[in-house]
Structure 1
Amino acid sequence: MSDDWLYALFVIGALVLVALLVVAIVLAVRVWKTGKYLQAMGVGGRWVFWGAIIYTIFPIDLLPDPIYLDDVGVLGGALIYLSRLAVKARQKQQAQQAVPPSQAQRHPPQRTR
């Protein structure tokens, strides 16, 4: 009987590890795709992007490598932060484009003597 429980625990543990690996890979791909917006995000976005990618690839982790909880946490946090930066950058770009040129020309810069 104990062999059946041990086998069941082993199978469940293996399935959890595979699921975490799949989640880590999906998050890494999403973080990589948000990398195309790095120019608009500034220096903070670049640091978070490259830090998350390097942490995921680097062999030294907070938790041993078969357990991908730390990688999932780092990638998920980076994805949330980068997504918020991308939304702010997009809103800023849309606000700059929303100013009609006629309003910009109404108030020309004043000359200093």
Structure 2
Amino acid sequence: MENWLLIAVIVSSLAVVVMLVVVVVLILRLRASFKLLSSEDVPFQNKFAFWASIVYTICPVDLLPDPIYLDDIGILAASLHSLNKAAQRAGITAK
């Protein structure tokens, strides 16, 4: 019984560490992407998707319960990817 508890603690700790790493990467990508939001060359729908994902991340209503942030992280990552791809097509890079 104690082995299962130890395994559960280790797996949970690893999941938390992985989630924190993903959050740090997303924060850095968010910071770099703010330049793209002021560009007129990036289409409005990509900017709207970005801001909608921010609202979804903050909103208390989620697809998955709040201790599990996979849906928030996934939606935010997808909108950042879309914003960056639109900027690349327009010839802009986020730095």
Identify the TM-score tier after normalising by the shorter chain: 0.7 to 0.9
Residue 86 of structure 2 is matched in structure 1 by 85
List alignment gaps of at least 5 residues for structure 2: none
Structure showing greater relative contact order (alpha-carbon pairs closer than 8 Å, 6 or more residues apart)? 2
Residue 9 of structure 1 is matched in structure 2 by 8
Corresponding letter in the other structure for 2:26: L
Q: Is the 8 A contact 2:47 2:83 kept in 1?
A: no
Residue 59 of structure 1 is matched in structure 2 by 60
Please state if 1:41 is matched with 2:42: yes
- Larger relative helix fraction: 1
Q: Is the 8 A contact 1:45 1:82 kept in 2?
A: yes
- Relative distance call for 1:61 and 1:67 in structure 2 (3 A) is same
Alignment partners' CA distance in 2, 1:25 and 1:64: 21
Corresponding letter in the other structure for 1:84: K
Kindly provide the CA deviation profile for residues 56-88 of structure 1, in whole angstroms up to 9, marking residues without a partner as x: 222221111221211221122112111110101
SS of residue matched to 2:91 = helix
Number of aligned residue pairs: 90
Runs of 4+ in structure 1 over 3 Å off? none
Rg (Cα) greater in structure: 1
Alignment partners' CA distance in 2, 1:67 and 1:17: 10
Q: Percent identity, aligned pairs only? A: 40
Corresponding letter in the other structure for 1:22: V
When the two chains are superposed, the root-mean-square deviation of aligned CA atoms in Å is: 1.9
Residue 99 of structure 1 is matched in structure 2 by none
Residue range with higher mean Cα deviation, 7-16 or 43-52? 7-16
SS of residue matched to 2:43 = helix
